[in-house]
Structure 1
Amino acid sequence: MASADYSPNSAAGLPLPLIGQIEARLGAVMINSFASPETEGELYWGDIQLGPFMEALTAAVKGLQPDGQLNGVATFPRLQGSPWEIPAPNTYPAGDQITWDSFKSLLHHQFLTALPEDQAPILLADTGLTFYSLNNVKVPESGYIAQLAWGAIGYAPGAVSGVKLALETRGIKRRVIAVCGDGAFAESANALGQLAELGQDCVVFVMANGVFAIEQFLVNVQAYATPPTVKFVDLAQVQQTSLWDWPSLARGFGGVGYEVVSNQQLQDVLATLRTSTPPPALPHGPCTGGTPGDGCPQFEHGGARPPSPSTFTLVAVRNVGRDLPSNTRWKLK
């Protein structure tokens, strides 16, 4: 693979013709990635500045067609309505199974925006369809956290604890919630233990639909068509979803758990979350109370933590498996 560093004295434009994919990260660009290096060439272009890069990219795109338009732009699906319009909860029948869109509607209208701004939860959207589904919710400044730079699936269940600690050091009493897929949650389920240990009233919503939805979306989106034209690939299956007892899983880590299937069940849980926080997890078993026995370890500073103020809540959202957020369905056109 060729490589070159950007220089202000270089000729204007990209250092080679644009015929492949561009990837940009941390001040470096891969040009023509996934192209054939034998026949088309690819280049690692390092130490670039954003301004010159955007100018070069714009010039390259304009040169792709005589009218400066990308191939297929005339038939590419157009946006319908405003991206900021999230339908009201009554759009979705209470007894129906939860979908990506009904979850966003209920979460947005009955939780995120149902509290005063200084009490509004901070939302962490995990990598995958969760991010795409929730990227138009309305939250106060610094109220939406996501990371796509490295595509770390499953970061959110653990990251909520760090965000909560950061808020506490600044005296901010806002709740922190994470929304992740079931495959993502399986990557970091053990993070729940720290939430209980620190007494953090964070909420982890798991979209427990039984599939790595983003993987199937990327492999072949036609599995989501109506009717589907292909089957889901085996690697997209998340078998833990139907094996785990979700409320018991939460209790096992010292928290409170719910499993919801219908829109009404989700509304009921959101009402509970709006008005209360769960009591803290209580230590149990040998060496946890009274006078320690001979077999109990003695710690330097007593080993006992201050009483915890609360604990976490885990909500398994059993949403429809063969369903996409409305803002990703353009790919089915």
Structure 2
Amino acid sequence: MATDIRTSELKEPVDVAEYLFRRLHQVGVRSVHGVPGDYNLVALDYIPKNGLKWVGNVNELNAGYAADGYARVKGIAAIVTTFGVGELSAVNALAGAYSEYVPVVHIVGCPSTAAQKDGLLLHHTLGNGDYSVFANMSRQISCAVSMLNDPYEAATLIDHAIQECYIKSRPVYISLPSDMVTKKIEGARLNAPLNLDFPTNDQDKENYVVDVVMKYLEAAKSPCIVVDACSIRHRALEEVHKLVATSGIPTFVAPMGKGAIDETLPNYGGVYAGDGSNEGVQNYVENSDLVLNIGAIKSDFNTAGFTYRMSQLKSIDFHSYGVYVRYSEYPGVRMNGVLRKVAEKLGKFNVTAPFPKPSNAIPAEEKQDDSGVISHAWLWPRLGQWLREDDVIITETGTSNFGIWETRFPKNVIAISQVLWGSIGYATAACQGAALAARETGKKRTILFTGDGSFQLTAQEVSTMIRNELDPIIFVLCNKGYTIERFIHGWKDAYNDVQEWDYKGIPAAFGCSPEKHQTYRVKSKKEIDDLFNDQTFSDSNKLRFVEIVMDWDDAPRALKSTAAASAKRNEG
């Protein structure tokens, strides 16, 4: 009776699951990834009722990768798995999202609260009555964990988790027991949107930091800007763009920062990654008298094996959690406000020293090569000539990830890669989520570059693309195995080989009708030129699948140097 009285006191009673999915809709989610399981089935009924689309992935790992890709385009994503077996399959993908600051809401359908309280010996458990063990695992890769075991706390816990996910740009974990799905809670809260604004800086502190930054900028003769991934993840791109475009200061991107700025700007200078930098970039950046590092993640692959050489005495670092000016730390002063004010105060900077001007010109030695063999040195600049404004491009860990450093993008390109976590197979599944998000936001082309070895890990996700009538352009680099691993260790060893597949036969094998896909196999530079010049390929609304045949022992220059550094480090 007590429960009925409390329910009757609700102004606008809604079910817990309805509240959850309406909140997700309010923050921009339109599609929910995942795999059905008996503990989440009733909750899944609420997805279409609340304006959301159920994607339906082939497995939970792929669903996690896809949610990651979706979030990088839309700003936030959601995945639903089932208790134990389902959620653990997604853990690798969600750990990657945590590592790389990607906001994904992970909803886990769990056994009823009564079953958990009684410690029943249910399927999908460890058989020991411990129902908290899997949530505890996910606590290490979540910025918030909300256990919806009590209807009177559910709305607060849901709101908190989604806010934390968005503001901290990391995954959160929501446990939804099967008997909680239909419990009534106060829906009136839904009339007030969640506050997703970043906490504002203390203005006195912010103004002080701005003055300190301006002092060093005004004294600098040859400053430069290096933009990295956290400027994207922590939503500082508007401020970054204003600073870059207004000041005219030579600006470079780290590999994880590809796509962060408009690469058509006249002061864009290319990719800085230590020894793996674009031509002329390393020398310019490392000899600048002041480097503004914005959102830096100085991981091994993002720095070509820790080969960057920037003195902290000549650096100012901007982050979501603080600003570092040389050896002085200013914690709690978020970069967004500081960058905005610096751009306003600085205005146009008088740049006198010449700096690198990257282009998509084919290298001279490649022009002289008449073999016709597709090389990495030729492919990636040629790709840049074919890309268009607003493209979404995903590159897999390995040759593609390093090759794209040599591609200068048109405006508004979204670049997706997993440089830090580096889980092979990520890109194919992420492509599904990115293509879905691209369709929702009106972007026409989603393009995937992946190696044959990586593709084999998550190839089933092409089935999900077909099921959801997505039309990405998929390029598989066919070079007979794990090229990046070969360059690290095991040059000709069997563990770096893969079985050769009929890759372009995949769409048909997964049930895609002939009129809805196009397949190609290209083995020469001329064949790629012809393909890129073919409007029926470039403008098609069909799924396009391309095999690019390359030599097994070729790789981008930056990959070779990074792999050598990695091999040396592995030796101890």
Under TM normalisation by the shorter chain, which class is it? Answer: 0.5 to 0.7
Q: Distance in 2 between matches of 1:146 and 1:208?
A: 19
**Residue 323 of structure 1: SS of its match in structure 2?**
coil
Deviation at 1:183, TM superposition (A): 0.6
Q: 2:418 aligns with which of 147, 161, 168?
A: 147
Q: Provide the rounded CA distance (Å) in 2 between the counterparts of 1:203 and 1:145.
A: 14
Partner AA of 1:319 in structure 2: M
What's the CA shift for 1:83?
Answer: 8.4
Alignment pair present for 1:106 and 2:337: no
1:251 aligns with 2:508: yes
Other structure's SS at 2:533 match: helix
Partner-residue secondary structure (3-state), 1:108:
helix
Q: CA RMSD in A?
A: 3.4
Query: Are the counterparts in 1 of residues 360 and 408 from structure 2 also a CA contact under 8 Å?
Result: no
Q: CA deviation at 1:317?
A: 0.8
Instruction: Say whether 1:328 aligns with 2:556.
Output: no
CA pair 213-137 structure 1, distance change in 2 beyond 3 A = same
CA-CA distance at 1:318 after TM superposition? 0.8
- Gap runs ≥5 in structure 1: 1-25, 27-48, 57-80, 221-230, 279-309
Map Cα deviations across residues 35-69 of structure 1 (whole Å, 9 max, x no partner): xxxxxxxxxxxxxx7767x959xxxxxxxxxxxxx
- Establish whether residue 235 from structure 1 lines up as the match of residue 492 from structure 2: no
What is the CA–CA distance in structure 2 between the aligned matches of 1:214 and 1:323, rounded to whole Å? 10
Give me the whole-angstrom Cα distance separating, in 2, the residues matched to 1:136 and 1:105.
Answer: 6
Q: How far did 1:246 drift? A: 2.9
Q: In 2, Cα distance between the equivalents of 1:273 and 1:312?
A: 14
Matched, 1:168 2:439: yes
- Give the structure 2 partner of residue 88 of structure 1: 362
**In the alignment, is residue 203 of structure 1 matched against residue 473 of structure 2?**
yes
Paired AA for residue 251 in structure 1: A
How far apart are the structure 2 equivalents of 1:237 and 1:166? Answer: 34
Query: Residue 91 of structure 1: SS of its match in structure 2?
Result: helix
Query: CA offsets per residue over residues 185-225 of structure 1, 9 Å max, x none?
Result: 001111111222222220111111002011112226xxxxx
For the 8 Å contact 2:476–2:547, the answer to whether it is kept is: yes
Q: Deviations over 1:150-202 (max 9, x none)?
A: 212111112122112222223x2320001111110001111111222222220
What is the aligned partner in structure 2 of residue 124 from structure 1? Answer: 394
CA distance in 2, matches of 1:314, 1:94: 27
Deviation at 1:313, TM superposition (A): 1.1
In 2 relative to 1, CA 55–122 (structure 1 residues): closer, same or farther, beyond 3 Å?
Answer: same
From the superposition, tell whether residues 50 and 126 of structure 1 become closer, same or farther in structure 2 (CA, over 3 Å). Answer: farther
How far apart are the structure 1 equivalents of 2:481 and 2:368?
Answer: 23
- Is the CA contact 1:92–1:102 (under 8 Å) kept in the aligned structure 2? no
Q: Amino acid of the residue matched to residue 377 of structure 2?
A: D
Q: How far apart, CA to CA, are the structure 2 residues paired with 1:207 and 1:92? A: 23
* Displacement of 1:234: 1.9
Deviations 1:228-265 (A, max 9, x none): xxx522211122x2xx2233233323232211111111
The one-letter amino acid of 2:526's match is Q
Superposition map of 1:4-19 within 5 A: none
1:248-288 superposed Cα distances (whole Å, 9 cap, x missing partner): 2333232322111111111222223675555xxxxxxxxxx
Residue type of the partner of 1:264? K
Letter in 1 for 2:439: E
Instruction: Say if 2:430 is the partner of 1:159.
Output: yes
The separation in 2 between residues aligned to 1:189 and 1:181, in whole angstroms, is 11
> Which amino acid in the other structure matches residue 167 of structure 1?
A
- Structure 2: segments with no counterpart, 5+ residues: 1-296, 298-320, 329-354, 566-572
Give the structure with the higher percent helix. 2
| 2:487–2:560 CA contact under 8 A, matched in 1 | no
Taking the aligned partners of 1:167 and 1:320, their CA distance within structure 2 comes to: 33
Separation in structure 1 between the aligned mates of residue 535 and residue 488 of structure 2, nearest angstrom: 34
Indicate the residue corresponding to 2:341 in structure 1: none
What does residue 456 of structure 2 align with?
186
In 1: Cα distance, 2:534 partner to 2:465 partner:
19
| Helix, strand or coil at the partner of 1:215 | helix
2-structure distance, mates of 1:273, 1:156: 26
Distance across 2 between alignment mates of 1:134 and 1:209: 17
CA gap 1:249/1:95 in 2 versus in 1, 3 angstroms: farther
Match of 1:317 in 2: 548
Amino acid at match of 1:182: D
Q: Is the 8 A contact 1:192 1:312 kept in 2?
A: no
Aligned-pair CA distance for 1:106: 2.2
C-alpha distance in structure 1 between counterparts of 2:359 and 2:368, whole Å: 15
Query: TM-score, length-normalised on structure 1?
Result: 0.55
Higher relative contact order (CA 8 A, sep 6+): 1
Aligned 1:255-294 pairs, distance under 5 A: 255-272=517-534, 276-278=538-540
